[in-house]
Each structure stands twice: as C-alpha cells, then as structure tokens.
Chains A and B, each alone.
Chain A
Amino acid sequence: MKHAQVKEAATAPFNDQRNPFGAFSLGSETHHAATIPDAVRRCRWIAVDINASGFGLYFVSPSAERARLVACFDSDYPSTAVATKFISGANGEDVVRQSRISTAPRWWADDGIAGSRRVLQSLAWAEPTAPLAPGTNGIALPVHADRGQCGLVVFLGSEITLSDDTLCEIHARSFALFAAVARIRPGDTGRTRSISKRELECLKLTANGNTSEEIAKLLKLSVHTANQYLTQSTQKLNAVNRNQAVAKALRLGLIE
C-alpha cells in the first residue's frame, strides 16, 4: 500500500506530458514517426529541466581511426551554433574515443566560474574531459541505438543543475531521443521488404562463412541459382557487393 503510493509519486514526473518517456514506450515505439524538429523540441525540454543553455546531438562516425562527430542538430536549429563547430572539429576526438569503451558521461568546466564546476564535479559516475568547446561548461552523454549507431547528446551552460539521480533520468531520455533520431536516418530501407526468404537464407549462410558452392549444397540448389539469389539480394539491399549486402542485412536486422 505504502509502496504503491511512493511508486505513484515517483512515476508522476515521468508521465508528465512533455516528458518523452511516455512517447517512446514499447507500444508506440514502432509507430512513432519523429521528425528532426520533434527531436529538437524534446532535446530542449531536457535542457530546460537541467537549466542548460545549449544542447546538441551528434553522431559518432563508425570509422575508428577518424574519430569524428557529425552534427545532427543543436540548439540553434535550423542554423548551427558556434559550439558545434568546435565539437565536431578536433575537440571531440577524445570523447569519441572514450565513448567506444564507456557509457559514462564526460563533463568539462572552462567558463572560469567555480560554482558551476562544483555541480559537475560532484557527479559520482561522470568523468572529466578536455573542454569540447572553449569557454563553456558542459556534459556529453554517450548514447547507442538498436543497430549499433553511436552518438553523443551534449548539454552546455554555466548554470547546469544536475544530481546523480537527474543525470540517470536525462541520460535515459537522451537514449530514447537518439533512438528516435537514429530511426529517422536509417539509410535506405525502402526496398528491403521485397527480399525473399530464400535470398535471406543465402545471405545468412554467406554471413556464416559459406561459399556459393557450399550454400548450393546445403540448400540443394545449383551453384548458379545460389549466386543468383545472392546477386538479387545484393541489388535489393542497394549494396555494391556481397560483403556490403551481408553488413547491411545484419545492421537492418534482416538476418541475425
């Protein structure tokens, strides 16, 4: 009884209409067609909740060596904030590298105000990093979407108020936000539905290291037919060769 009350009280702020948790619940997830302006609005709500003056969402480019951040939007949307120029420049490299092995938030304080540094410093799980943009304070939250896309949601401001508890909450909301944004730019999924079961079977066997000859034997087809299935699926996935077709099929979740 008592527990139920406490639970209700704790859940109340999450059910607040402007809180994105509700919109990204399991049921609505697949149907929810978000747009970039929607995402900007959601991100602004999070920023308001922690008293941040700026924000931005960046994709981490998948290439390991060229650790780079690609801006999706920031608080000056549809234009681009000055901070973004620094963040997607060389300044982001260290954070990108760390985000490959850690999901811990990274903070920096470069505005020269002692009080604002203290707030970020007091966070138990956040790690300090070099300033992403000079003269700012901020916190970068690593986020990951279903198909392996990585990103950073960044909040800037000298008056950010955050506790360990709020940090968990806004990070969770940032994850949901990024998942929605990552679904908007899924690349080319339009024609993938027409791939036949047989073609997927061949792709899956290819992913498991089988050659066309082996696939033909396993599925009791001629080598020619197996190759044909693979060529067709490659075309349907808009890939240039089998390797890319296998990669795309895995990333799109067509095969496991």
Chain B
Amino acid sequence: MSSSAALLQPDASGSRLTSRGDLTGFFMQLAADIGADSYMLVAIVHDQDRNDARIVSSNWIFDAIELIGKRLIANLALGPLTVAPGVRPKPLVAAHAPDAGALLTGEEARLLDVLGHAEIYSLRLNVGRQRLFVLFSAGEAGRIDLTALMKAQLKCCYALSSIPQLIAAASMQDPLSDRERECLFWVSEGKTTDEVAVILGVSSNTVNSYITHAIQKFAASNRAMAIATAIRSGII
C-alpha cells in the first residue's frame, strides 16, 4: 500500500542478520521501501586530526566512491545535515549545492547529481555506544518518504545491533577491558591515580598498570591522548 506499510511486515527470513550478505540485503530492501536508490553505511575512524570514512556496506558503484572521495563522505556524515534518531531529517540537494554551504563545492555537487545522488539524507545510527552513519540517496529530489525514513533509521539501529561483532570490526573496536575502561573514565573525570585507587578499591600500582595498558592499546603517547581517543570513539 504505502511505502511505510512495507516496513510493517516482519522480514520473512526472520529479523536477525547473521552475515555481511544479510546486511546488504537488509539495506537494499530498506532503501527500496523508503523510495531511495542507494545507501551507504559508513563508520568514521578518528586518526589524530583527521576523520576517515570506512565504508561498511554500500550499493554505490565503486567508481562513484572513488570519484567523490572518502574525505567528502566523512564530511557529509559529520556535517550539520546528519540527524540523530527522532530528528526530522533534512536533505542535501546536490542541485542546490549552496544550501550545503561549506560541505560541497559546485563541482562535487554536480558530480553527485550526475552519479544519481541528487538528494542525499545522512542519518546517525547508534549501535550501543558505537556510532555509524547511513546515507540514503535518490536520483531525484522529493522521492524519499520522510516518515518512513525516520522509522527506517531505528530499524537500521536494530538490525546493526544484531551483528555487534561485525560492527565492532568495521568501526573502531573497543579494545579496553572493563577495568581499563573504568580507570580511564575516572582519569577523564580529573581523578588522580591515588583517587582512582580509592574509588575502585585496588592499589595505585594496579591503577597505573590498567591505564598504561589502555594507553598502549590506543597507541597513545600519554593519558590525555588516550582519554581523547576513547571519548572520540564513544568508549567512555
């Protein structure tokens, strides 16, 4: 009936995803249900000062990704048009690139339009503490159903939640043990080693060793950098 009604039907194959193949199938179906032509599931990896887009799954043609460039994709995902679940999404209309402000140059906008991404929606997905982004696009503006899109955003979160290992491998993993994470959290709250030792009821040496391990796992040079890395990747 309506495209949102298609979302109503439980998947015939059962709702849990198990493989990367399922993931592709799920997103293809979802894109079709909301009136989109393409999707791209992206994880953002923070590397020092730069944000890199890691494409987890996508049906964009390979050349398009090469032409557009991952930097632009990272900018789109982290840009002001990306909405959290529950916020009415706003499209990036490639044909009216000035809307996008500093996001796109005229050249890039034309390129997107030509490649069949006239209208792009960028949605933030929460999978537990992990954050991913999905871009849905259509060849012509106004085709994507907004209400269905807002519901689809949650459906994406649910689907990705059913394959946590795959998601963790795709985006940056949380390499810390519970204890290391907890120590790092208290240090980020401004506690000293001795204070953390009192809070957790262990010795200061133990606390220091947890924090050293955390620093090593992040390949950080000191505590401040380890904290920054952990916060950026949503671990603490």
Choose, from A107-115, A160-168, A221-229, the stretch at the interface. A160-168
Most B-side CB within 10 Å, residue of A99, A101, A176, A244: A101
Categorize the interface residue count of chain B: 35 or more
Whether B87 and A24, one on each chain, are in contact in the complex, defined by CB atoms closer than 8 angstroms, is yes
B45 to chain A, nearest CB (A): 14
> A236 at interface (Cβ–Cβ under 8 A)?
no
- Residues of B at under 8 Å CB distance from A? 1-4, 7-8, 10-11, 15, 35, 48-49, 83-88, 90, 126-130, 143, 145-148, 150-155, 157-162, 164, 178-179, 181-182, 185-190, 192, 200, 220-225, 227-228, 231-232, 234, 236
Chain B residues with CB under 8 A of A98: 128
Whether A64 and B85, one on each chain, are in contact in the complex, defined by CB atoms closer than 8 angstroms, is no
> A235 at interface (Cβ–Cβ under 8 A)?
no
B47 to chain A, nearest CB (A): 11
Chain A residues with CB under 8 A of B236: 62
List 21 A-B pairs, Cβ < 8 Å.
A10-B147, A26-B90, A62-B185, A63-B185, A64-B181, A65-B200, A101-B127, A125-B155, A142-B128, A164-B7, A168-B154, A172-B85, A172-B150, A172-B153, A176-B85, A179-B87, A206-B224, A207-B224, A208-B49, A208-B225, A209-B220
> A45 at interface (Cβ–Cβ under 8 A)?
no
What 1/0 mask marks residues of chain A from 90 to 123 whose CB sits below 8 Å from any chain B CB?
0000000011111111000000000000000000
Q: Kindly list 11 other residue pairs between chains A and B, CB separation below 8 angstroms, not including A64-B185, A172-B151, A247-B228.
A: A6-B3, A21-B88, A62-B236, A64-B181, A101-B161, A102-B162, A125-B158, A173-B86, A175-B85, A179-B86, A210-B221
Of the candidates B8, B35, B127, B181, the one whose C-beta lies within 8 Å of that of A103 is B127
Within 8 A of B (CB), among A119-167: 124-125, 142, 144-146, 148, 150, 163-165, 167
Q: A14-B147, A240-B190 are in contact. Are A168 and B155 (CB under 8 A)?
A: yes
The count of chain A contact residues (Cβ–Cβ below 8 Å) is 64
Nearest first, the 6 A-B pairs at minimum CB distance are A244-B190, A176-B86, A209-B225, A175-B86, A207-B228, A125-B158
Chain A residues with CB under 8 A of B2: 6-7, 9-10
Q: A29-B87, A172-B150 are in contact. Are A10 and B222 (CB under 8 A)?
A: no
Chain A residues with CB under 8 A of B4: 10, 165
A254 to chain B, nearest CB (A): 12
Whether A102 and B179, one on each chain, are in contact in the complex, defined by CB atoms closer than 8 angstroms, is no
- Residues of A at under 8 Å CB distance from B? 3, 6-7, 9-11, 14, 21-22, 24-26, 29, 62-65, 98-105, 124-125, 142, 144-146, 148, 150, 163-165, 167-169, 171-177, 179, 206-211, 239-244, 246-247, 250-251, 256
Q: A7-B146, A10-B147, A64-B181 are in contact. Are A247 and B188 (CB under 8 A)?
A: yes
Q: A99-B128, A150-B129, A165-B7 are in contact. Are A26 and B88 (CB under 8 A)?
A: yes
A26 to B228 Cα, complex, angstroms: 28
Chain B residues with CB under 8 A of A176: 84-87
A65 to B160 Cα, complex, angstroms: 25
